[in-house]
Amino acid sequence: MRKRYLITFGLVLLVLIIDQVVKIWVKTSFAFDDPSVPLVGNWLYLNFVENQGMAFGTQLGGGMWGKLTLSIFRIVAIGAIIYYILKQIKKPEVKMEFFIVAALVLAGATGNLFDSMFYDFIFRDYFDPCISYNQVEGSGIFEECSYFGYTEMVEVRHRGFLFGNVVDMFQFRVTWPTWVPWLGGGQVFPAIWNVADFAISCGMIYVLIRQKVFFPKEK
């Protein structure tokens, strides 16, 4: 049982460290308007963006309440995952591969939550209301923004605990063949993602593939 604890939460910690190291490096090394950087051939690029949503920019509504609801949802989901893992660890019949998959999902959810919780404090000096991902119409919060000597008041997002943006950076640039109906010429997967998103996706896809093994029907 101790081995299960060590492997499960050790993997969570490893994925979290990798996720945060990459995010901090990208956030402190690239500007919002920097050009994309090819990483692998012509199909994987580094393209720094920030979003107020969850994996791949998905949001639960907009504005302050949408962001706050999303952050609270993350906290509840992470608590439920931890509780479920702790219960399953005590069952000898549960396979180790299940805990590896659960660790990936838990680490990914926690990594993105960490951004929302703390990035507005860690990177407060980097905040610039003129950057588009900090501008939110209808927020009711106005800050002065200058463009080439011209000054105007712009509406910006709420800041602070649970309101930080999630840092994304990777993007596939693979297009559908032109002969594919409706999709031809468009990007196969245009979303920009991070290590945490990748961990969640790998975990969830593996669960779908192995669901009969992980959740067998009772005879």
- Check residue 137 and give its pLDDT: 81
pLDDT band at 101 (very low <50, low <70, confident <90, very high): very high
Catalytic (active site) residue 197: yes
pLDDT band at 139 (very low <50, low <70, confident <90, very high): confident
Mean pLDDT, residues 194-199:
96
Q: Which of 19, 115, 120, 197 is catalytic?
A: 197
| Lowest mean per-residue pLDDT among 47-61, 122-136, 205-219 | 47-61
For residues 11 and 181, the model is more confident at 11
For residues 114 and 51, the model is more confident at 114
- Check residue 47 and give its pLDDT: 92
Mean pLDDT, residues 38-51:
92
How many angstroms separate the CA atoms of 105 and 90, rounded? 20
State the average pLDDT for the chain.
Answer: 89
- Check residue 58 and give its pLDDT: 54
Query: What does pTM read for this prediction?
Result: 0.89
pLDDT band at 28 (very low <50, low <70, confident <90, very high): very high
How many angstroms separate the CA atoms of 57 and 77, rounded? 18
> % helix / strand / coil in the chain, to the nearest 5?
50, 15, 35
- CA angle centred on 17, ends 59 and 71, rounded to 5°: 25
Catalytic (active site) residue 168: yes
pLDDT at 207 over 80: yes
Q: Which of 19, 115, 120, 168 is catalytic?
A: 168
- What lies within 8 Å, CB to CB, of 81 at 6+ separation is 102, 105, 106, 109
